[in-house]
Chain A
């Protein structure tokens, strides 16, 4: 899976982008869009919302590129905007009032694969997407994006201990998912993420 740290942008492109040059910003978008969309999708789950947030993120990039200082690589600066946008959404009363939508079944796997390793990977992905929104955000930001509990707690408007306890609790469910039997696997499959995979 592509990660923000694996995105390479040459100095010339970054310098042009900082000046707001359209072509350079377009190249930045092409390079970063998959990682940004994946990150947002893992946090908010619904593909339509993720698409909105991704557009908001890059709209912010256009508006604020002049304020970018190269203290961190440009993809990480963009990631910070995407995370902030996503957490703002998760914290909003609007999202909380619609959380029940998370429980609705999504489409099942397109091509069933019964091999053990693929089954376990799918189980884990399904279990992740079935976690409560805040727990899912904590897991993804901590384990995949490398955020600290202090940063996550601050981002969620909660405490460090909240982030730690959410991670611990979520891990229990994720561990059971990859160690679960085929019956558990069959039950969880219909709730896979609705977005397509590359």
Chain B
């Protein structure tokens, strides 16, 4: 039963002590060393020189009532509002679940998929974290989590494409499938570690 990445990263960050298994297992020690090297490299990165902005100039801008000095921020805020409106309009004109019984029975609508994802996330958070796991299981979990991260990135991107709801549904459906797999693997792992 080998340590997972989560445990190794917590050990490398000094937030958790290495257990007896990690201390004794050559494989876990080697992987811990890899994680430690990256962690140490990140901590050793150089400080970046701040821009030549003076304190008095920031203070003057605040006194003048400007919230964003140079700024892309008002444009960003406007863009955010436009996207939010576009998404809201899209949701408003979407067919209601059940309007097309043959399709609805075969395919879960977007809002149900999102709700189901939330339910699975909650379920996953209630499963105990196993301190050790078989390396094969760890790879399986890592593969699923990698895929989840990829799907999450694509969902984020698709959110900006309000005219392609079917793509969003496909991604959310894939996420439900992945979350189901992850819950099952984590559940089995929790049972095995009892």
Residues of chain A whose beta carbon lies under 8 Å from any beta carbon of chain B: 1-2, 22, 25-26, 29-30, 33-38, 41-42, 47, 49, 51-52, 54-56, 58-59, 62-63, 89, 92-97, 120-121, 124-125, 128, 132, 134-135, 139-140, 142-144, 146, 158-162, 164-169, 171, 174-175, 178, 193, 195-198
Q: Which residues of B contact A2 (CB under 8 A)?
A: 47
CA gap between A121 and B69 in the complex, in Å = 34
Quote the shortest CB–CB distance from A67 to chain B (angstroms): 15
Contacts of B71 in A (CB 8 A): 52
B73 x A56 contact (CB < 8 A): yes
Q: Which residues of B contact A30 (CB under 8 A)?
A: 55
Q: Is the interface of A mostly helix, strand, loop or mixed?
A: helix
Q: With contacts A33-B50, A37-B51, A51-B53 known, is A162 near B148, CB below 8 A?
A: yes
A34 touches B53 (CB 8 A): no
Taking residues whose C-beta sits less than 8 angstroms from the other chain, chain B's interface range is: 35 or more
The 28 sampled A-B contact pairs (Cβ below 8 Å) are A1-B44, A1-B45, A25-B55, A25-B59, A26-B59, A30-B55, A37-B51, A41-B48, A51-B51, A54-B50, A54-B51, A94-B75, A95-B76, A96-B156, A121-B41, A124-B42, A143-B42, A161-B124, A162-B148, A162-B149, A162-B152, A168-B5, A171-B5, A171-B38, A175-B38, A178-B37, A193-B48, A195-B48
Q: Say which residue of B61, B80, B148 sits within 8 Å of A165 (CB atoms).
A: B148
Are B62 and A63 in contact (CB-based, < 8 A)?
Answer: yes
The answer for the CA separation of A168 and B157 in the assembled complex, in Å, is 21
Asked if A144 and B42 sit within 8 Å, CB to CB, the answer is yes
Looking at B156, B157, B182, which has the most chain A CB atoms within 10 Å of its CB?
A: B156
The interface residues of chain B, by DSSP majority, are classed as helix
Closest partner residue, chain B, to A26 (CB atom)? B55
Report how far A29 CA is from B50 CA in the complex, Å.
Answer: 11
What is the minimal beta-carbon distance from A44 to any residue of chain B, in angstroms? 11
Within 8 A of A (CB), among B27-49: 34-35, 37-39, 41-49
